[in-house]
Structure 1
């Protein structure tokens, strides 16, 4: 499916408030990187928040892949914090 530049712009503008809210929600996720159950809870929370906030964009060919990419980025951030904590940094 081809989207015009105007359609793409509209979709991005439509998603912008949700992406800002997502950023705020992600900043609020706290966990102890040395406690596996806390880390697992953080992963689950990231997954739930992203799925909830971006659900309506899942089938969108432009914004749909963003869900997977955002999860990957936030999961990577959790993994980095765990690695640093285990290395005493």
Structure 2
């Protein structure tokens, strides 16, 4: 009986993790997904960083190199602002 509960739990975890992964991948292009994954690799708020980086990448078709800074490499990415007038892109 315990083995059956463990197997059911394991199966549920695998299904949930595959759904979450699919949701992330469907959001953008392979280019943006890979560039943003690196850009946000050291971010404290990973999901938020990936979300906004993906939005900015789709609009600008570029992501600055590195995990922070270098925004002059991509002026469109650098110049996007949120509703408060603050930088939108990580």
More helix by share: 1
Do they fold alike, i.e. is TM over 0.5? no
Task: Mark the structure with the bigger radius of gyration.
Answer: 2
- What is the TM-score with the length of structure 1 in the denominator? 0.30
- Higher relative contact order (CA closer than 8 Å, sequence separation 6+): 1
